[in-house]
Amino acid sequence: MASQFMMINPPSSETALTAQGADAPRIAFVSLGCPKALVDSEQIISRLRAEGYELTKSYDGAAAVIVNTCGFLDSAKAESLEAIGAAQAANGKIIVTGCMGAEPEGISTRFPDLFRITGPQDFDSVMQAVHAAAPRPHDAKFDLIPAQGVKLTPRHYAYLKISEGCNNRCSFCIIPKLRGDLASRPAAEILREAEKLVAAGVRELLVISQDTSAYGLDLRYSESMFGDRVVKAKFIDLIRELGALGVWVRLHYVYPYPHVDEAIELMAQGLVLPYLDIPFQHASKEVLRAMKRPGDQEKTLERIRKWRTICPELAIRSTFIVGFPGETDEDFAILLDWLEAAKLDRVGAFKYEPVEGAAANSLGRAFVPAEIQDLRYRRFMERAQTISAKKLKEKIGRRLQVIIDVGGREAVGRSKADAPEIDGKVFVASRRPLRTGEIVTVKIERANAYDLYGTAA
């Protein structure tokens, strides 16, 4: 599921803003939503650049404005509608795409004059709409697009989307309605993209999907040719291949299925980062049942303990929902106890939002009043903060590998336990200026609840 929201408005990529020529039509782009939506934006921008369109920061004077929307929560929908409204106030040709495009009536009732509304991942329709707004430049003779495509993340890390859609039916989530069932990409296609990214200087690959551990199920683990060898569309095979590329590989949105144990072995061997992002969502059996999620958190605790024996460095990040319909004080107490027992390294939480169309709204379970949701959210985050502070304190005195996100003598980076945007940072003092993307050893001297401080060794 989506766990963060980012907005790129206007496009921040230098590549995307490179001027091509005075006559090229200019397109403005707004991207909202999670890393998966960001990857979609990168694909559309790559196609625009490949066809010779120029990107502009300004709506005014743009031949069209593309708004890639997020429809995961009502708050995200509201943000998307606001972005559409702002774009329409300045420009007559608005092309809406992304998750909200799956239900176009919700948008067209409010904005009847939009130029085009297309569904998520319907890149062909987006490009057709762009062609209708501003004919393709005739003379796109420049090599406008790098081999790895346009990336909206800094050059040293990149999101790698391995599948789209989801076969699960969590009752609070409408992603399968918006994006359909699991559709995995062939392994060779993913590996070719990963290879290009690494060749272009990417030092960290962030593997994303809706359910990473289900990768390849829909393809029945089919084989494809990567160079001179056959590769299988299977979770463990894919990450082993990615690990062999020699860069940091970080796994997001993994379910604790038994076959994930094999991935922990690869982490212990140093082939992929000892990091797992598992959205547990809750710990109470009752709530998990109502959420339609696997319900045995006792077994999961055992599994986590086993993982940590195999790979003591393992960092686990997770997200939870507090105030799910029918959540009692007892359910919430179970959640807090479980959190304490699992000692997760990084934790985020959402207050339950009754997203339109989600099955959880009509389960007949009473909605938790907003003030109780707020209270539980605060208590949950306080508990998570105490655990995090304790775990980070244990790192004082250790030497950690840190990837530098912001270079200089006062640099900012992340350890293997920190994903960009969602986890903590490592603040690094250094005698020589550190370069962005460089991986350095840092002696940790200080910690607070979320971040570490140290000196480059």
Q: Contact positions toward ligand SF4, by CB under 6 A?
A: 1, 166, 168-170, 173, 175-176, 210-211
Helix (H) or strand (E) segment spanning residue 347: strand 346-351
Closest distance to ligand SF4 from the beta carbon of 173 (Å): 3
Tokens standing for residue 96? 């809406």
Closest distance to ligand SF4 from the beta carbon of 167 (Å): 8
Question: Is the separation of the CB atoms in 133 and 63 below 8 Å?
Answer: yes
Closest distance to ligand SF4 from the beta carbon of 371 (Å): 26
Give the Å distances, CA to CA, from 149 to 22, 63, 289, 310: 23, 23, 42, 37
Closest distance to ligand SF4 from the beta carbon of 293 (Å): 7
DSSP state of 232: E
Of 431, 391, 425, nearest to 410 (Cα)? Answer: 431
* CA atoms of 89 and 302, how far apart (whole Å): 55
Nearer to ligand SF4, 289 or 435 (CB): 289
Helix (H) or strand (E) segment spanning residue 346: strand 346-351
For tokens 């999961």, the residue is 300
**SS3 at position 155:** coil
Nearer to ligand SF4, 4 or 12 (CB): 4
Nearer to ligand SF4, 168 or 436 (CB): 168
> What residues form the annotated binding site for [4Fe-4S] cluster?
34, 70, 99, 166, 170, 173
Question: Is the separation of the CB atoms in 444 and 454 below 8 Å?
Answer: yes
Closest distance to ligand SF4 from the beta carbon of 78 (Å): 20
Of 423, 389, 427, 169, nearest to 277 (Cα)? Answer: 423
Question: Is the separation of the CB atoms in 367 and 379 below 8 Å?
Answer: no
Nearer to ligand SF4, 34 or 334 (CB): 34
Closest distance to ligand SF4 from the beta carbon of 369 (Å): 24
| H-state helical runs in 51-138 | 74-90, 105-108, 123-133
> What residues form the annotated binding site?
34, 70, 99, 166, 170, 173
Residue type, 222: S
